[in-house]
Structure 1
Amino acid sequence: MWSRLALALPALALLATSAPPQPALAQAWQCRAPANLSRPTPEYPDKGEVRRTPITGYVLALSWSREHCRGRKNDPADALQCGKAMGEFGFILHGLWPQGSGSNHPQWCRKAEPLSRKVVAENICMTPSVRLLQHEWAKHGTCMARKPETYFGAARLLFNALEFPDMDRLSREGEREGTLTAGRLAEEFALHNDGLPESAIRIQTNRRGWLEEVRICLDRKFKPKACAPSNRSASAKAQIKIWRGS
C-alpha cells in the first residue's frame, strides 16, 4: 500500500488541497461525525516557542486510542474520542510534524485562525478531538502550508495509505506468550506496508510499558526514512503491552 503512495508523492501538494475525506478510514470505519461540531478556540504559543527553522523531514504520529481512553470514557474533554458516540477507535492521527536539524523543529510559524466547521468535520474521524485538530494546525501545520485544507489533506493521504496490523491478535499473543516487543510491532507494521522499513518506525510506550504511539519518520519528499536515535522511544527488545479496551 505504501509503495503505491510513493508513486503519487510528487503530486502530494496538489492532491492535499482537494482530497476528500475517506468514508472508510482504516481505524475508524464506523465513525460518523456529529452534525453539531463546534469551531475550536484559537491557540497561541508561549513566549519563545516560535521557531521558523528549515524543514528536514516529517513525522507521522499515530496514537493508540484504546490506551489514551483508558479511564477517560466519561471525561467531557475526551467525549468525541472516548465516549463511543462516534464509534470506537484504534489508531488515530495525532499529527503530521515537520522536523528540523537536531531537536530544532519548526513550530508556531504563523498566527492560526480557528478552523472552520467544514475542516473539523472532514478530519474529526481521523483525529477525533476538535481541540487537537486546532493545536496541530497552529503548532505544526502553519509551518507546512498556507491553508489548513492543504495540511490536513496531506495528513489524510498519508494516514489512509497505511495498512494496520491486527492489534487484537498482537495484544492477546503478548498476554499469552509474553514475547511482544517494540521490534515485533515495528516488524508487523513493515510487513503490512510495502516500502516501509522497520528503521522508519518508532514505538512509544508509557512508563508501565503500554503502547501509546507509533511514529513513522519521513524525508522531505514524504518517503519513509530511518529515524534518528531517540531515548524517548522503546528499544527494539523492550517488552510492550497493548490495551484492547474494555
Structure 2
Amino acid sequence: MSARLKALRAAALAGVMLVAPNGAGADGPPKPSGFDFYVLALSWSPTFCASAKASSNRDQCGEGKRYGLVVHGLWPQNERGYPENCPTDQPRRVPEKLGRTLFDIMPSMGLIGHQWRKHGTCSGLAQADYFALTRAAYERVRIPDSLRNAERATTVDVDAIETQFTRANAGMTRQALAVTCERGKLSEIRVCLTPQLAFRDCPEIDAQACSLPSVAVPPAR
C-alpha cells in the first residue's frame, strides 16, 4: 500500500481527511456534498454464500473460503434515502490490481466494482481514496469475539448482538447500528459513521433492523 493511502487511513481514523471531492487536495475535514453520513454494511458471508445469488462468486464462496463478516459496502447516506450512481470524473471500472488489495475484507471483484459505481461515486472521493476510507471504516469497528470465532452454528438474540457491538465499540449506541436478517439468518450489521468515521445515531437505518427476536448464525467454515 502506498504511503498516501496509509496516511489517508490514519487521518480518517483521527477524524481528518486528506482529500477533497474528486481527490483534490485539502487541509480541513471533508465537506460532504449530497449526503449526511456513511453506512458501513458488514455482510455475514456464510448467509450470503448459502443463497442462490452466490453461485457464481467463487472468490468469496469457493471451496475452503472461511469468511465471516465482510464489507458489503461503505454507503453515503442521507437522513432519509441515499444518493446512488452519481456523476464522476473517476473511472467506472475498478482495476483488478486495486480490487485485490481489498480481498481480505471485500472478497469479490464483482462486489467491489458494483459498490464503487453505485455508492463510491457519490462519496466525492477519488477511487483509490474511497477504498482506503472503506478499509479505515472497517478497521474503526471492533467485531465482537463471538462473530470473529463463529465456528459452529448458533442461534443468537438480536438484542444480544447489538449489546456485544456497543460494548466492544466505545461511543456506539444501539441507535447507531442495525442487525438485519434474511430467511431467519443473520444477514448484515450496518453501522452509521460520520464522514470523519465517528459513530453516530441514524434512526432510518436503525428502523431497518431485523424484527425477529433471534437469528441463526451459520458457521464461518
Q: TM-score, normalized by length of structure 1?
A: 0.70
1:1-246 map, 5 Å: 8-13=13-18, 54-70=34-50, 75=55, 77-84=56-63, 87-103=65-81, 105-110=82-87, 112-165=91-144, 166-167=146-147, 168=150, 172=154, 174=155, 180-206=156-182, 208-229=183-204, 231-235=207-211, 238-245=213-220
Q: Is the 8 A contact 1:65 1:90 kept in 2?
A: yes
The alpha-carbon deviation at position 239 of structure 1 amounts to 1.8
Deviation >3 Å, runs of 4+: 5-9, 71-74, 169-172, 229-232
Q: Determine the C-alpha separation between the residues in 2 that align with 1:161 and 1:185.
A: 18
The alpha-carbon deviation at position 222 of structure 1 amounts to 2.3
Structure 1 unaligned blocks of 5 or more: 18-52, 175-179
Q: 1:106 to 1:71 in 2, by over 3 A?
A: closer
Identity score, percent:
26
Q: Determine the C-alpha separation between the residues in 2 that align with 1:215 and 1:144.
A: 18
Q: 1:55 to 1:171 in 2, by over 3 A?
A: same
Q: 1:74 to 1:107 in 2, by over 3 A?
A: closer
Q: Is the 8 A contact 1:63 1:94 kept in 2?
A: yes
Q: 1:211 to 1:13 in 2, by over 3 A?
A: farther
Q: Is the 8 A contact 2:45 2:220 kept in 1?
A: no
Q: TM-score, normalized by length of structure 2?
A: 0.77
The alpha-carbon deviation at position 229 of structure 1 amounts to 3.8
Q: 1:209 to 1:13 in 2, by over 3 A?
A: farther
Q: Determine the C-alpha separation between the residues in 1 that align with 2:152 and 2:83.
A: 36
Look up the equivalent residue of 2:40 and give its one-letter code: L
Look up the equivalent residue of 1:54 and give its one-letter code: G
Q: Is the 8 A contact 1:110 1:138 kept in 2?
A: no
The alpha-carbon deviation at position 224 of structure 1 amounts to 1.0
Q: Please list the CA deviations of residues 126-151 of structure 1 after superposition, one character each: whole Å capped at 9, or x if unmatched.
A: 11111110111111111113421100
Secondary structure at 1:203 match in 2: strand
Q: Is the 8 A contact 1:201 1:214 kept in 2?
A: yes
Aligned residues: 195
Q: Please list the CA deviations of residues 142-164 of structure 1 after superposition, one character each: whole Å capped at 9, or x if unmatched.
A: 11134211000001011023221
The alpha-carbon deviation at position 181 of structure 1 amounts to 1.9
Q: Which has the higher strand share?
A: 2
Q: Is the 8 A contact 1:65 1:92 kept in 2?
A: yes
Q: Please list the CA deviations of residues 37-95 of structure 1 after superposition, one character each: whole Å capped at 9, or x if unmatched.
A: xxxxxxxxxxxxxxxx72111100000001111266993x210001145x410000000
Look up the equivalent residue of 1:89 and give its one-letter code: Y
Look up the equivalent residue of 1:216 and give its one-letter code: V
